[in-house]
Structure 1
Amino acid sequence: MTSIALIEAAAKRLSGHARRTPLLSSPFLDEIAGRRVFVKAECLQHTGSFKFRGGWNAVSALVEAGPLSGVIAYSSGNHAQGVALAAKMHGIPAVIVMPADAPAIKIANTRALGAEVVTYDRAAEDRDALGARLAAERGLALVKPFDMAEVIAGQGTTGLEIAEQAAEAGVTEAVVLVPCGGGGLTSGIALALQARAPGMVVHPVEPEGFDDVARSQAAGERLRNERLSGSICDAIITPVTGDLTWPLLRDLCGPGLVVTEDEALRAMALAHDRLKIVLEPGGAVALAAALFRPGAGAVIAVASGGNVDRAMMIRALQG
């Protein structure tokens, strides 16, 4: 089970290890959106995404529980890097199962952090089954990308910071938009804000064609994505939400929003021009929804990651 107590415990583990990323704003973005826009820049977190939070908390909890032969994780790249760095800092081996079509920079960075990378075909192979088999064969502890209490709690520390930083800016009521794949970040933030800033409502944001969370919320039951590839928003493409994350998304979040790839690219360019930060497509969908979907009152968009290939960044900037 995931609770505010676990998120607070995660915050203690992360203290001195994770960055307290800034909450940014720009009058130019406010003008586009027609309301106050704040951006939680998790692209400036270690390894370029929020995933270091969950990776560090989960690996730390496993190390505290007893001796480890190593850890294994499966990821399109951001969770991979978060777990790889956490394992390296704890002095234990890491094996990372990554889709062969993941951005080259994410694969290269994961290897550079000392992890062994095992690739698979996203459309034809089951990453969960592959990860479970390797874990059993090598005696490795599995660190799931989102459906794990310690991972959700680690991501939830982002919500604790949002509550504190928004209050410092005089904001106690806001819509909080979060890029959503499996739901670890979204559900963790929702749980944290329920306890620390109940005037804020979290909404998942997904790319067009991979909106299983929004569809699941509307249907009242967990639905799957029909496709497992084919989006530039690779960081938030998952088959289905998790057993732990789905009830939190269902019960704590407002309706999901969906944006197009073009809108994500436009948001990347605007983040670069107005905030001077680099976002990847999946990490920009919440900002895209904040800018290009109507709404009233303050909005806080989580910029969840910035691990983008140069070619994709150039595509965004050339528009």
Structure 2
Amino acid sequence: MSAPAPLSPQVAGPSEAALSRLQLMVTRKLDGLLQGDYAGLLPGPGSEAGESREYRPGDDVRRMDWPVTARTTVPHVRRTIADRELETWLAVDLSASLDFGTGRWLKRDLVVAAAAAITHLTVRGGNRVGAVLGVGAEQPAAPGRRRGPASAPGPGTLTVLPARPGRKEAQGLLRRIAGAPVRPGRVDLGALVEALNRPPRRRGVAVLISDFLAPPQQWTHPLRRLAVRHDVLAIEVVDPRELELPDVGVLPVIDPESGELHEVQTADPKLRVRYAQAAAAQRDAISAALRGAGAAHLRLRTDSDWLMDMVRFVAAQRHARTRGTTR
């Protein structure tokens, strides 16, 4: 499969032609992947009560049918009928750290591509799609001074795009995501997730797209609250250079969120080993926090076929649901 053209959002947003090519590619690959009444990325359990069946390892204990369990002395869970209309909300982290990539795409390109795939999979059948966008907000520096640690960027701003049905509205939402301004600064990931908790929204699917560079303690608690009411999918975008350093001598590195410049001596093998170990520990902590919060976890890399990774993920989710497990 040919790779999609980079969207290059850092130059006044992507063109309509680039978005059209991306959406066409997503449609050709994913169309018909999901079947049934619940036409979402995560084929959820639904909300209307149905019949009971015996408990299987991996079932959600919140759906235990205690009267039937008491009568039969065998654990039972209550089946639920799949919802025919789905409301999906995207929480999209558009921090400056996404303007980085050493593979086929920038991380920001993957964010837009993942959003395009999700909207395609969830917009059919009268389903509604909305989004909360988190964009960095730079604090103004004092006149005559360069921005540095003393004038660090602010926590970012949030924009809510109401959930609406229809492909035309979904395409407009995707254009808003792809054309979001690139601003130095960090997005408060916890506040971004909390924007999906308040005000309370109808049960559905919540998708968080980020590189998750913020400390897990910042966003774990809001994500747990979100998973109580919704099926939650966390899409993590990663670049290979965030996992290991190449041996290229002195490497100047600029933090896009703070503007700070660091020089790293990558020729030191001990440094590269320590870096890889620290990066692996960071990613393990992210995975553990997402599992603990009850979220499904999909990792997309800038150097791999992200669309096939998404296809395999959806197929695995459907297979798990068919066998009676929840994750």
Give the TM-score normalised by structure 1: 0.31
| TM-score, structure 2 as length reference | 0.30
Going by fraction, where is strand more abundant, 1 or 2? 2
Q: Per residue, is there more helix in 1 or in 2? A: 1
